[in-house]
Amino acid sequence: MKDISHLPEQPDPFVVFTNWFHEHSTHTKSAHPGACVLSTNGLDGFPNARFLSLKLIEVPFLIFGGTRESLKAKEISNDPHAALTFWWEESKRQVRVQGIAATTSDEHSDFLFRRRDKAAQLVSTISQQGAHLNSWEDLKDQFDAALASRYNESIARPENWCGFKVEPTRFEFMEFMDTRLHRRTLFSKKNNEWVVKMVQP
């Protein structure tokens, strides 16, 4: 396991994150290597968390997709402070990210949407994420019909679907040890530079 306790004077947590993510993606048996938990500040005062899939690492942003009407979108619009949490079982590593979230440009959103598989694209055209559902069977019928009739078509990105980007202000990298003497390294952005320190387990 790589030691990140000895870092250059001007460390870059994106280098560490990208390396760890690449190792995880290479060795994981999961079909969703980008799976992580997005936490936001709820409109009702309660914290809110849900799993989603990280789609791009584009310094200085971590990027995922979703709809503008979703609860996460409303919460980000109300309070852009957000967190992403990654747990990688094979390497026994955890990464916690805190930062500021925003929507991406239309061009970026188009690019992300094109990368989705056809079923996911079609779901985005028929589902109003988070809205009340009267009948799951009716929605399933709509999806099956769309899948049968439009599978070979090019699906345009719905106007309500977009990319979201989180610009991190903190990264915490934790390497789990069987002894429970875990290694924790915290990067914090101050005056536009990254400051790094070790944290006790």
Q: Is 147 annotated as a binding residue?
A: no
Q: Is 98 annotated as a binding residue?
A: no
Q: Is 53 annotated as a binding residue?
A: yes
Paired tokens of 162: 């977009």
Give CA–CA dist 24/94, Å, rounded: 11
Half-sphere exposure in the Cβ direction for 121 (13 Å, CA) = 20
Q: Is 29 annotated as a binding residue?
A: no
At residue 169, φ and ψ (nearest 5 deg) are -115, -15
Are 16 and 171 within 8 A, CB to CB? yes
Give CA–CA dist 128/178, Å, rounded: 44
Are 39 and 47 within 8 A, CB to CB? yes
Q: Is 96 annotated as a binding residue?
A: no
Q: Is 92 annotated as a binding residue?
A: no
Q: Is 72 annotated as a binding residue?
A: yes
Q: Is 50 annotated as a binding residue?
A: yes
Q: Is 94 annotated as a binding residue?
A: yes
**Those residues with Cβ within 8 angstroms of residue 143's Cβ, 6 or more apart along the chain or in another chain:** 122, 123, 126
Which parts are annotated binding residues? 50-55, 72, 94, 184
Which parts are annotated binding residues for FMN? 50-55, 72, 94, 184
